[in-house]
A = this chain, B = another copy of it.
Amino acid sequence: MSTSIFYHAGCPVCVSAEHDIINLIGADNVEIVHIGEDKSRIAEAEQAGVKSVPALVTPTKNVLHLNFGASIADVKA
């Protein structure tokens, strides 16, 4: 099965959504990326169309913004 990527920044909304996504699709099916800690991957997230976190990029490259924790601009700051 193809893997989704879950981008987050450690915010409470992010942590809650991370638990939900892992419960729903399984930890093996999603890569968790903390772009607050790993800023080298912010550009990749933006390229994928991520505007805010938490967000899930599906295997088909659609972006699902899950609720709203922080904008990418906030994460960069």
Contacts and interface: CB of A to CB of B under 8 A. Distances in A.
Interface of A: 4, 16-17, 20, 23-25, 29, 58-60, 62-68
The quantity of this chain's copies bound in the complex is 2
Nearest to A67: B65
A64 B25 contact: no
13 contacts: A17-B64, A20-B58, A20-B62, A23-B58, A23-B59, A24-B24, A24-B25, A24-B29, A25-B25, A63-B67, A64-B67, A65-B66, A65-B68
Contacts of A20: 58, 60, 62, 64
A13 B26 CA distance: 24
Contacts of A60: 20, 23
